[in-house]
Amino acid sequence: MITRLSHLFLRTLRDDPADAEVPSHKLLVRAGYVRRVAPGVYSWLPLGLTVLRRVEQVVREEMNAIGAQEISLPALLPREPYEVTGRWTEYGDGLFRLKDRKGADMLLGPTHEELFALTVKGEYSSYKDLPVTLYQIQTKYRDEERPRAGILRGREFVMKDSYSFDLDEAGAKASYHAHREAYQRIFDRLGISYVVVAATSGAMGGSASEEFLAESEIGEDTFVRSPESGYAANVEAVVTPAPPSRPIDGLPAAVVHETGSTPTIATLVDWANGADLGRTVTAADTLKNVLVKTRVPGGEWELLAIGVPGDREVDAKRLEASLAPAEFELLGDADFAANPFLVRGYIGPKALLANGVRYLVDPRVVPGTAWITGADEQGKHVVDLVVGRDFTPDGTIEAAEVRDGDLAPDGRGTLVSARGIEIGHIFQLGTKYTDAFAVDVLGENGKPVRLIQGSYGVGVSRLVAVIAEQMHDDKGLRWPASVSPADVHVVIANKDEGARAGAESLAADLDARGLDVLLDDRPKVSPGVKFKDSELIGVPLTLVVGRGWADGTVEIKNRFDGSTREIAADDAVSEILTATGRGSR
Ligand code: ATP
Ligand code: MG
């Protein structure tokens, strides 16, 4: 196909859009791929739509290759199935809810575990039909709290979601692994640099899950890995290695001290090291109690205290993941006023437990460990407060920050962190949804068998932004051939009629060989502007028909390495076929 820039519905912009912070967002808007309609809601213009479709196609081919079958469910859904699983409420503010004219509750689907379970239940009734994997590539809706970076985090976005249904655990595992490998092939074909990391299951429920993160400094996810062991996990999923409990017998008694004005960990440590406690104290010897309030969607706010070693902060994302689907907020002045037993800067386990505040501690706070912590009075702390002797928390929570240099949870090596963008997520759901809808088939022995479900998502529209993010330079986009909006960008850079006709005939030859050609045939646009646009648009190869045409030469520019080669016009078609991998050998 030949796409002519003289007719293409495209306006490139010289300036970055005011609301764009990350390169992919700026470039996709400037190069005329997408346009904003509302926060997190975007239109796809011709070049953008072509790339989106090509990404979709790679995903589709790899899904089909593992035997998954494409179907399409509605995005407009009734409340009932989501009510049955509790997600109508649990999804909280992230769900787009609406009413139809009769007043019935409906929603715009954020993900379709319920509907796929029901769809399989509707059609299949015998073990002979299983296993089955179904998928769709469909528009999803989530009222994201912070839509961001254009199509990277949209409120409307395209997802490939697939769901496997198996008769037994072994089958479920095989389906999971087939997806894992399909995802690796997809992201390899797209030329993305990514890691596979252990993940939490979040609002989805279920057991094992892994995320595919595209490595990127602008990513919202932080992951850690141990180069020594190959361990890799989203920080949200890092399980803190707990030290063994210690014997309590013989430990010194807890003593309350006047510590003066010591409302911060640093001031407390200073006091402790001047107080002649007979040892050197560091922040890690103190127990910091952080107060938040939490609520399950639709429920009441409740106080929650989190005890972490004083050398660590509470990581909001880890806390959020641990509490999901409940949400949390930091306590405000009014909350402190309403709970006078909370003495800011001096909060200790005693008052928390005496007042029925749920108190969860970091896994390092094991029985037999002694801490310096608040004594619930202004200017007072307690030293040698021993877990299991002087107080017993309600449980543990993964909320403390994970730091570079921390011991890897598998005990081998230390952690280093980096940032990434989630591009795919695979879950073993177990029977959470099939239980909810009693999705059974008749087994071989005549007894009903509950199906085991898996759920697997790829952010198709997000991938367009991720590829742009990983592959661009200061001049513009640089698409990999697998998703580029065209195979070759032919630029007519000469007013001469002969050159124009020559470019037209080269474009026609390339088209005849099955290549997608973007032809810059705009009559009144200068070569300089055309070159700038071609760099901005980012097709891997540009063929320039310009000054050299009269001498029988043209130029091939490679957008990836920036190289330019002058070649004989007669060789142009075969050179381009070779460069695009379509050449006959
Ligand atoms: P995130 O942590 O980024 O919010 P998620 O864990 O909520 O993502 P899933 O429910 O696992 O996402 O959805 C599957 C895939 O859909 C994700 O891996 C991601 O690539 C994509 N995705 C999720 N939310 C969005 C969004 N708001 N905009 C674009 N793509 C999204
Ligand atoms: Mg996810």
Mutate to test the pocket of ligand 1, among 213, 462, 463 (most ligand atoms within 8 A of CB): 462
Q: What is the rounded distance in angstroms from the CA atom of residue 435 to the CA atom of residue 84?
A: 10
- Read off the amino acid at residue 271: W
Which DSSP letter does residue 260 get?
-
How many angstroms does the Cα of residue 158 sit away from the middle of ligand 1? 10
Decide if 574 is inside a domain: yes
User: Which of 363, 396, 429 is where one domain is finished?
Assistant: 396
In this structure, are 233 and 261 located in the same domain?
A: no
Mutate to test the pocket of ligand 1, among 158, 425, 428 (most ligand atoms within 8 A of CB): 425
> Would you say residue 297 has pLDDT above 90?
no
Task: Kindly state the tokens that stand for 469.
Answer: 């993010």
Report the relative pairing of strands 194-198 and 302-309 from DSSP bridges. Answer: unpaired
**What is the number of the ligand closest to the CA of 153?**
1
How confident is the model at residue 495, as a pLDDT? 85
Report the relative pairing of strands 132-141 and 69-70 from DSSP bridges. Answer: parallel
In this structure, are 431 and 386 located in the same domain?
A: no
How confident is the model at residue 86, as a pLDDT? 93
In this structure, are 72 and 219 located in the same domain?
A: yes
**What are 119-176's pLDDT values in tens digits?**
999 999 999 999 999 999 999 999 999 999 999 999 999 999 999 999 999 999 999 9
In this structure, are 139 and 222 located in the same domain?
A: yes
In this structure, are 83 and 216 located in the same domain?
A: yes
Decide if 5 is inside a domain: no
Average pLDDT over residues 62-78: 98
**What are 198-224's pLDDT values in tens digits?**
998 655 555 689 999 999 999 999 999
In this structure, are 523 and 455 located in the same domain?
A: no
Q: Give the closest residue to 51 by CA, choosing from 347, 391, 479.
A: 479
Q: Give the closest residue to 404 by CA, choosing from 546, 205, 226, 173.
A: 226
**What are 522-544's pLDDT values in tens digits?**
999 999 999 999 999 999 999 99
Task: Kindly report the CATH number assigned to the domain that includes residue 68.
Answer: 3.30.930.10
In this structure, are 284 and 421 located in the same domain?
A: no
Q: Give the closest residue to 160 by CA, choosing from 457, 546, 523.
A: 457
Pocket of ligand 1 (CB under 6 A): 111, 142, 144, 153-154, 157, 159, 422-425, 457, 459, 461-462
How confident is the model at residue 585, as a pLDDT? 42
Decide if 51 is inside a domain: no
Q: What is the rounded distance in angstroms from the CA atom of residue 175 to the CA atom of residue 132?
A: 9
How many angstroms does the Cα of residue 177 sit away from the middle of ligand 1? 20
Instruction: Tell me: cis bond preceding 297? Omega within 30 of 0 counts.
Output: no
How many angstroms does the Cα of residue 427 sit away from the middle of ligand 1? 13
Residues with Cβ < 8 Å from 489, sequence gap 6 or more?
517, 518, 520, 534, 537, 539, 541, 542, 543
What is the pTM assigned to this prediction?
0.91
Phi, psi (rounded to 5 degrees) for 405: 95, -10
User: Which of 342, 366, 396 is where one domain is finished?
Assistant: 396
User: Which of 396, 425, 450 is where one domain is finished?
Assistant: 396
Decide if 25 is inside a domain: no
In this structure, are 72 and 130 located in the same domain?
A: yes
Task: Kindly report the CATH number assigned to the domain that includes residue 348.
Answer: 3.90.960.10
In this structure, are 285 and 371 located in the same domain?
A: yes
How confident is the model at residue 207, as a pLDDT? 66
Task: Kindly state the tokens that stand for 328.
Answer: 């949390």
Report the relative pairing of strands 221-225 and 416-430 from DSSP bridges. Answer: antiparallel
Decide if 35 is inside a domain: no
Q: What is the rounded distance in angstroms from the CA atom of residue 126 to the CA atom of residue 441?
A: 5
Instruction: Tell me: cis bond preceding 46? Omega within 30 of 0 counts.
Output: no
CA-458 nearest atom, ligand 1: 15
Decide if 246 is inside a domain: no
Measured CA to CA in angstroms, residue 158 lies from 43, 154, 338 at distances of 12, 9, 46
In this structure, are 392 and 521 located in the same domain?
A: no
**What is the number of the ligand closest to the CA of 204?**
1
In this structure, are 103 and 188 located in the same domain?
A: yes
**What are 1-33's pLDDT values in tens digits?**
999 999 999 999 999 999 889 999 999 999 999
How many angstroms does the Cα of residue 330 sit away from the middle of ligand 1? 26
Phi, psi (rounded to 5 degrees) for 463: -60, -35
Q: Whose CA is nearest to atom 26 of ligand 1?
A: 153
Decide if 324 is inside a domain: yes
Q: Whose CA is nearest to atom 25 of ligand 1?
A: 153
Number of domains in the chain: 3
Average pLDDT over residues 332-348: 93
Decide if 24 is inside a domain: no
Task: Kindly report the CATH number assigned to the domain that includes residue 519.
Answer: 3.40.50.800
In this structure, are 94 and 202 located in the same domain?
A: yes
How many angstroms does the Cα of residue 422 sit away from the middle of ligand 2? 7
How many angstroms does the Cα of residue 459 sit away from the middle of ligand 1? 6
Rounded to whole angstroms, the maximal C-alpha distance in the chain is 98
Task: Give the residue numbers spanning the domain of 507.
Answer: 486-579
How confident is the model at residue 324, as a pLDDT? 87
